[in-house]
Structure 1
């Protein structure tokens, strides 16, 4: 029985500025690197066979810290990137509220219906993620796979694998360096762990 381990990147510079990142390339903060070290320690308790990551710096650097701890190389795929947010990328939450209040309301209440210039929809994102992840699962059958990616991507992927409609997207939350685990049992994929951040808590 293979397992899929999903980890969101550590805190980034734009996370603390409340800026929309999307596919913009932003770096980890010192705290983000520390979070990555802590989730790496947590993953030492699992038998991870292979690591895949988004090629964006905040995800790759998180994956590299984990890989160095586990003695594994990181394989990057552009398809594991965050959702492309188009005209929202680089804007703060307040700027979006000021300039795109109607669209922001749609994103908060029915995000699957949001359409932004130069952006992906949630369905586009989910199809992109499922396509590459299904290939990775097929090529690494019964292995324990770690994917380091992004908040929206991980939520869309979990819903897709479990066969839950994308309209439930805003019912999930995925924190920085949170761990989610899906088991591929004979009869069905099963969500075993969701958004576990216990490794970040102080002893």
Structure 2
């Protein structure tokens, strides 16, 4: 049986400031590194055969911290990076609402229909994310695979795996360093765990 551990990166400064990060390369905060370290400690009890990560620093650093505990190298894949938010990147939610009210309204109410200026469409993010997942699984059949990616990208992947429409984007929550577990059984994928942050209970 193939098992996926899909994890979101630790906290960044722009997470705190509610800025659209997207494809911008933002580092982890001290708290983000603490979160990643607690997750890495937790992952010591799980059997992991290989680790894959987005090429963006916040995800890669999170993955490397886990890799050090598991004595595993991290393989980077560009297709696992966060959705590109185009002109919104670096802007706070407040500024986006002020300057792009019409586009933001669509993004919040019908995310699958949103066309953010200069950004990616949600379906494109899902397609590249699922393509990466399927290629990883094909290379690592019957292994335990850990993948570190980003909030929106992970949501689109989970919705795709569960055959749910992208309009359900906001019905899934993904906190920093959360863990999602998916098992691939003979009859298909099963979501075992969603947005698990038990390792953060004491911080």
Aligned partner of 2:96 in structure 1 is 96
The question of 1:111 aligning with 2:141 is answered no
Query: Is contact 1:4-1:183 (8 Å) kept?
Result: yes
Instruction: Give the Cα–Cα distance (whole angstroms) in 2 for the partners of residues 138 and 162 of structure 1.
Output: 19
- Report the Cα offset of residue 164 of structure 1: 1.3
Query: Is contact 1:109-1:170 (8 Å) kept?
Result: no
Aligned partner of 2:38 in structure 1 is 38
Aligned ranges 1:1-203 → 2 under 5 Å: 1-202=1-202
Query: Is contact 1:25-1:57 (8 Å) kept?
Result: yes
Instruction: Give the Cα–Cα distance (whole angstroms) in 2 for the partners of residues 110 and 16 of structure 1.
Output: 25
How big is each residue's C-alpha offset from its partner over 1:5-58, in whole Å with a ceiling of 9 and x where there is no partner? 011000012111111000000000000000001111121121010000000000
- Report the Cα offset of residue 117 of structure 1: 1.9
SS of the residue corresponding to residue 104 of structure 1 reads helix
SS of the residue corresponding to residue 192 of structure 2 reads strand
RMSD value, Cα: 1.0
SS of the residue corresponding to residue 82 of structure 1 reads coil
SS of the residue corresponding to residue 48 of structure 2 reads coil
SS of the residue corresponding to residue 10 of structure 1 reads coil
Q: Structure 1: which 5+ runs fail to align?
A: none
SS of the residue corresponding to residue 14 of structure 2 reads helix
Q: How many residues align?
A: 203
- Report the Cα offset of residue 171 of structure 1: 0.7
SS of the residue corresponding to residue 97 of structure 1 reads helix
**Runs of 4+ residues over 6 Å off in structure 1:** none
| Length-normalised TM-score, structure 2 | 0.98
How big is each residue's C-alpha offset from its partner over 1:98-120, in whole Å with a ceiling of 9 and x where there is no partner? 10112112111111110012211
- Report the Cα offset of residue 79 of structure 1: 0.8
| Length-normalised TM-score, structure 1 | 0.98
* More displaced stretch, 164-173 vs 121-130: 164-173
Query: Is contact 1:173-1:195 (8 Å) kept?
Result: yes
Instruction: Give the Cα–Cα distance (whole angstroms) in 2 for the partners of residues 116 and 201 of structure 1.
Output: 36
Instruction: Give the Cα–Cα distance (whole angstroms) in 1 for the partners of residues 174 and 151 of structure 2.
Output: 6
